[in-house]
Amino acid sequence: MRTDPAAPPADSAVVRDALGVGVAVGLSGFAFGVTSAGAGLGLLQTCALSLLVFTGASQFALVGALAAGGNPFTAAAGAFFLGVRNAFYGLRLSGLLGVPRAVRPLAAHWVIDETSAVALAQPDRRTARLGFTITGLTLYVLWNLTTLIGALGASALGDTDAWGLDAAGPAVFLALLAPMLSGTVERAVAGLGVLLVLLCQPVLPAGVPVLVAALAAPAVLTVHGRMTRGTEPGERR
């Protein structure tokens, strides 16, 4: 379909990719709406999260921690730490997109895994902007719409646990985690994180065990740093 081979890639290809990502992930708002309502949050609270937080893993983490009886600040802390990665996407996007100062506060809200993936895959500023905008818009609209539908549906179902919907949250986390487990260090961090949270769960207040488990990242990084320094002397000096 590409008529002008000198203009890579065709806008239609960028739009198609952006729409594909936006639609597929946007529909997962349904799982969030159901999980959030099942965790006892009201319709307004559930929709406020999708509208204002708009970064899926953080939203799931927050409702999970609240459902477990965590206090608002430990629950928010876990969600916040998961959101920190978006700062690093922004860092890489700011040069590529060259967002004008006036638009920055708006564009920032859409800086998430999916918009970054699409934008960073583009070769130049124009197509990166196009990919970012279309992914962001599609995802934002669909994510919020399906959150609303999911929350309404869950309230209509009554006991969401009987329908197995309490397994949606952990399944979402697992699906987000799986592609990150590419290396030995990542697997060690995940394993230690699981161990820490299960050990702390019966003895620490709700919300705190997950924060303790976050320490698996610096712990493994420190040990790994020592080991590589030991085997490859001089490499890091």
User: Taking CB under 8 A as the criterion, which residues in 49-78 touch another protein?
Assistant: 49, 52-55, 57-58, 60-62, 64, 66-69, 71-73, 75-76, 78
Tell whether residue 19 is a contact of another protein (CB under 8 A). Answer: no
Stretch that binds another protein, among 9-17, 124-132, 137-145, 215-223 (CB under 8 A): 215-223
The alpha-carbon radius of gyration of the chain (Å, integer) is: 20
* CB distance 188 to 220 below 8 Å: yes
Stretch that binds another protein, among 26-34, 121-129, 131-139, 150-158 (CB under 8 A): 26-34
Q: Please identify which residue in 7, 141, 221, 223 interacts with another protein, judged by CB under 8 A.
A: 221
* Measured distance CA(177)–CA(193) in Å, rounded: 12
Residue 133-172 contact track with another protein, rule CB under 8 A, x = bound: ----------------------------xxxxxxxxxxxx
Stretch that binds another protein, among 7-15, 98-106, 123-131, 137-145 (CB under 8 A): 98-106
**Phi, psi (rounded to 5 degrees) for 15:** -60, -40
Nearer to another protein, 10 or 108 (CB): 108
CA distances from 187 to 118, 216, 218, 219, 222 (A): 26, 11, 14, 13, 15
Nearer to another protein, 73 or 231 (CB): 73
* CB distance 138 to 14 below 8 Å: no
> At which residue do the structure tokens 């309490």 appear?
166
Q: Amino acid identity, residue 109?
A: H
